[in-house]
Amino acid sequence: YHCPAHRTPYNRMWLPAAVLLTCLLDWSPADAVLGLHLPQGGVLYPRTSEIREVQSLDGIWNFKLDTSDQEGVRNRWFEKDISEMDGAMPMPVPSSYNDITASATVRDHVGLVWYDRGFFVPKSWQNQSFRVWLRFGSVNYFAQVWVNGKKVAEHEIGHLPFTTEITDVLKFGQENKLTVAVDNILGYETIPQGSLHQVPTMEGLKTIQRYTFDFYNYAGIHRPVYLYTTPQVYVDDVELTTDIDGARVHVNYNLLYKGYSPTDTINSTLSVVDKDMVVCYETCIVENGSGNISGRIEVSSPKLWWPYLMAPDPGYLYTIEINLHSSETGVTDVYRMSYGLRSMTWDNNTVYINDRPIYIRGFGRHEDSDIRGKGLDLPTSVKDHNLLQWIGANAYRTSHYPYAEEIMDLAESQGFMIIDESPSVNTENFTQILLEKHKIAMAEMINRDKNRACVIMWSVANEPRTADKGAGPYFGSVVEFVRSLERRRPVTAVIATPYNKDEAGQFMDVICFNRYNGWYTEAGQLESIQLAVESEAQNWREKHLKPVIMSEYGADTYEGLHILPNYIWSEEYQQQLLAEHFKAFDNLRKKGWFIGEMIWNFADFKTDQSITRVGGNKKGVFTRQRQPKSSAFLVRRRNFQLASMLDGVKPPSDLFTYTASARGHRDEF
């Protein structure tokens, strides 16, 4: 058998399942192999309104591994009922499937898995001539979707949403069948990258997945699945930007709508509503079916979006209400979304929000929790943001992929600044196909998050191999592409390559560098840290004359391990290592171009099995169960002391534990 997409003989052990599925069924995954195909239209989050209805498809689905030479493809499982097959099992959605069972076979599976479930749609949706849409928040890594045996969607690259209209394939008033095939195989031209290897066993060769990034390659339907309705003429996308000139605040809007005819007359109303339900501005526009409505409005008595601890009311959000009336259908679409008013500028020294310089006190993180893996975990997400407030952080990076929209909503409403990162991690082998997929990932991320006040930078990659041949032109092209889409935020990449070998920093607006002094470099030598950090930051600055952030530093710590004097892996060592970095940061901050410190990591997380990882990566200041290590209290004191110095914040009353009265006499002790 020959696969036309790769022009190589079909080899069961080495051909990625997504490619095989494409070849057998004559599909082209995301068209990425054939050229750059960018998102066509919006991915507005499903929200109910006077006209729109939303139905969740989350719950317990049927699930089955495809372990026998692509049996599901050959036997067309998308036309069958998975629950009636041998080996079928229940699987919660959303979740990663890896840790749900007690089976290593499920956990370590490489290749296709299949999900299905039944669902009904109300006949009223048909009676009202609604369009019906199917939306996935994220499926990792490659998804193929069928409704009632008919293929309706495909999407490559995890951590990003995709949507498709399914009106024409639905059975109104009858049960419908939704089937999803998920492929977790990573290759040299996926985002992120990986490779397949064969391990000899008594039963023959076993295929395993390997990758260089240091987090577990969880797979499955990771985020919510929704059905939602729109009228025939509907709001497809909205782009909002803010201009601030002294006390005057203007919002620029660009509204895209679809489903209209050239003879249709469209009446649209855009309202800005504050938290007290006061309409701060309302504009009405009448136009003839162009598909696009743009304008500029001034908001009265504006309340700006501020980061946490930079203002008394951080994370202030307005509601943008859009009404779109079609004269031909007589129906009005209504869509509401939150929006924060803030400006963002930057120069060669720093980044400003609302004309005030920022200083980042934050973390790298992961979407990771017990049992659920990378599946959306709302209790853990809320807990995480409560802990971020408690510890006095004001920012985090979505390392190393875009986080769930529900998590971004939490961050935005609480005032956390976000460095929004693409799924490109440890990028190497800079091919044209990889470049095209990288651009698709950036376009989808920017399309999703363009209206978020909390997003202060776009990160195009984490620790790419920027000293390798081709890295310079590759990242020059990626950054140029990002700027062609959006110029109101700085662009960065998180770089681990030494400054004198890196070829990517020249294209960035902000330099973010990672270095593990006292851990991977000079392990145990705490006295070497301050000089090393200050010297490297200065070198990056002198090479590029741009703002600098230390975006990763830290040490693995096994909770409960106490050793005096401090010793690697102990809680004492982690505390002292962080403190040595703090000394360097305080000196660097005085220079005016060092703008942030971000600990790796907020909480412990799962990795692939390795003799250097005891149950995962243990660099968190919290455990995977979100309990504090000793260093969390040290970081909390530093963050609130910095907030007090830089922004006049009154520290919390419990920041320091009482020990003795300063007014006591010596003979009292």
CA–CA dist 339, 318 (Å, integer): 5
The residues near 184 (Cβ < 8 Å, ≥ 6 apart) are: 109, 110, 111, 113, 140, 141, 209, 217, 219
Peptide bond into 565 cis (omega under 30): yes
Residue 638 CB neighbours (<10 A): 19
Structure tokens at 62: 């049927």
Q: Is 174 helix (H, G, I), strand (E, B) or coil?
A: coil
Kindly state the helix (H) or strand (E) to which residue 230 belongs, with its residue range. Answer: strand 225-230
Q: What DSSP letter does each residue of 617-653 carry, written as one string?
A: B---SB-TTSPBPHHHHHHHHHHHHHHHHHH-PPPPT
Say if residues 621 and 605 touch (Cβ distance below 8 Å). no
Residue 124 CB neighbours (<10 A): 11
CA–CA dist 151, 584 (Å, integer): 56
What angle in degrees, to the nearest 10, is found between the helix axes of 471-485 and 432-449? 30
Structure tokens at 219: 């797979």
CA distances 98 to 117, 168, 408, Å, are 19, 34, 25
CA-based nearest residue to 345, from 337, 336, 355: 355
Sign of the alpha-carbon dihedral angle for 213, 214, 219, 224:
negative
Give the helix, strand, coil percentages of the chain, each rounded to 5. Answer: 25, 30, 45
CA-based nearest residue to 212, from 424, 500, 397: 424
Whether 463 sits among the annotated catalytic residues: the reply is yes
Structure tokens at 93: 């959605």
CA-based nearest residue to 155, from 17, 28, 65: 28
132: Cα within 13 Å, side-chain hemisphere: 23
* List 463, 486, 503, 597, catalytic entry: 463
3-state SS, one letter per residue, for 109-169? CCCEEEEEEEECCCHHHHHCCCEEEEEECCEECEEEEEECCEEEEEEECCCCCEEEECHHH
Q: Classify residue 58 by its DSSP letter.
A: -
Q: Which residues are the active-site residues?
A: 463
